[in-house]
């Protein structure tokens, strides 16, 4: 495990990279033996820096929920990050591309909690009982780490993404909120249109067989740190589409069928 001073140095580097719109070298390349514990320690420290600046936590995100993505990055479980207050956009928003380095959009369901949810031993049934409502969402993914280290030529790893707040940058919330038992969440489908062309589609069962399973997994992963998912928090349950690049001038219409749509324009 890296010492606290090194963790702090890496976290401040990520913070500066995000604010100044540039990439940093992958920590997994710079520091021998960089572990998943180190990566999450960097993430927690970076979130602390943001919160101290007046940007409070409003929820959490879960990523890498599909087996195909896990195999691609050589891990056997999802990852997670924090959602900060300045990341939220509403339906119909104009989103400045200049805020990001390389924004890409994923389609997900968001869980808004009505009761405290804490592991260990949290189950899908606990999640459904604690959830006030579920709402369509689209995550905007970005990365502050070079894909390939400019000094050594070595590629970044999933550990670098975890340290980078699991690649989170922003999210768009819209559509029709529903109670968690109002529909079978496994069969919620989505069509992601970019400029009137369907670029991606998917079904929510691709997220660990049920999107609420991801929320249960997260509550259990946070339990050793004494962290619970609190009432009012917004939890992104994990993407069930591939990423679609968002460019200046692109108009997205994300259609969740009976759950409504999300629209946004990147400017």
> 266 by DSSP, 3-state: which?
strand
Q: What is the pLDDT of residues 215-228, one digit of tens each?
A: 999 999 999 989 99
> 15 by DSSP, 3-state: which?
helix
Say if CB 253 and CB 174 are below 8 A apart.
Answer: no
CATH (domain of 223): 3.90.850.10
Average pLDDT over residues 54-68: 86
pLDDT of residue 136: 98
Q: What is the pLDDT of residues 93-115, one digit of tens each?
A: 999 999 999 999 999 999 999 99
Identify the band that residue 63 occupies on the pLDDT scale cut at 50, 70 and 90.
confident
More confident residue, 64 or 186: 186
Q: For residue 72, is pLDDT > 80?
A: no
> In total, how many domains does the chain have?
1
Residues of the chain above pLDDT 70, percent? 96
DSSP string, 35-104: -HHHHHHHHHHHHHHHHHTT--EEEEEEE--SHHHHHHHT-SS-EEEEEEGGGEEETTEEE-GGG-SS-E
- Residue among 138, 122, 120 at smallest CA distance from 130: 122
Rounded CA separation 23/16 (Å): 9
pLDDT of residue 77: 75
pLDDT of residue 74: 60
Q: For residue 66, is pLDDT > 90?
A: no
pLDDT of residue 186: 96
- Residue among 131, 115, 140, 114 at smallest CA distance from 215: 131
pLDDT of residue 28: 95
Q: For residue 201, is pLDDT > 70?
A: yes
Query: Would you state the structure tokens that stand for residue 30, as one six-digit string?
Result: 């710079």
Mean pLDDT of the chain: 94
More confident residue, 23 or 72: 23
* Rounded (10°) CA dihedral 29, 68, 143, 256: -170
For tokens 């514990």, name the residue. 37
Average pLDDT over residues 171-188: 96
| Domain that includes residue 19, residue range | 4-266
For tokens 């249109």, name the residue. 193
Average pLDDT over residues 169-184: 96
pLDDT of residue 58: 97
DSSP string, 232-248: T-EEE---SS--EE--T
Is the link from the previous residue into 228 a cis peptide, with omega within 30 of 0? no
Identify the band that residue 78 occupies on the pLDDT scale cut at 50, 70 and 90.
confident
pLDDT of residue 237: 94
Q: What is the pLDDT of residues 115-134, one digit of tens each?
A: 999 999 999 999 999 999 99
Say if CB 78 and CB 216 are below 8 A apart.
Answer: no
CB crowding 246-266: b at 16 or more within 10 Å, else e: beeebebebbbeebbbbbbeb
- Residue among 169, 180, 164, 57 at smallest CA distance from 109: 180
Whole-prediction pTM = 0.93
């Amino acid at each position: 495990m890296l010492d606290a001073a090194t963790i702090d140095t890496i976290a401040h580097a990520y913070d500066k990279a995000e604010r100044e719109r540039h990439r940093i070298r992958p920590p997994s390349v710079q520091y021998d033996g960089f572990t998943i514990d180190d990566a999450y320690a960097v993430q927690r420290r970076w979130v602390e820096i943001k919160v101290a600046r007046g940007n409070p936590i409003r929820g959490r995100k879960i990523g890498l929920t599909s087996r195909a993505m896990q195999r691609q990055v050589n891990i056997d479980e999802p990852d997670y990050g924090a959602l900060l207050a300045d990341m939220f956009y509403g339906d119909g928003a104009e989103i400045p591309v200049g805020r990001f380095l390389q924004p890409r959009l994923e389609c997900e369901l968001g869980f808004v909690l009505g009761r405290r949810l804490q592991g260990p031993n949290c189950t899908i049934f606990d999640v459904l009982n604690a959830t006030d409502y579920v709402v369509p969402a689209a995550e905007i993914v970005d990365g502050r780490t070079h894909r390939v280290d400019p000094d050594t030529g070595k590629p970044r790893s999933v550990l670098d993404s975890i340290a980078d707040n699991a690649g989170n940058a922003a999210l768009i919330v819209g559509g029709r909120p529903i109670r968690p038992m109002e529909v079978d969440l496994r069969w919620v489908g989505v069509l992601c249109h970019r400029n009137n062309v369907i670029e991606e589609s998917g079904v929510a069962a691709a997220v660990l067989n049920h999107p609420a399973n991801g929320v249960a997994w997260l509550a259990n992963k946070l339990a050793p740190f004494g962290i619970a998912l609190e009432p009012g928090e917004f939890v992104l349950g994990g993407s069930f589409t591939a990423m679609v690049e968002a460019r200046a001038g692109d108009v997205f219409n994300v259609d969740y069928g009976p759950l409504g749509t999300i629209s946004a324009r990147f400017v």
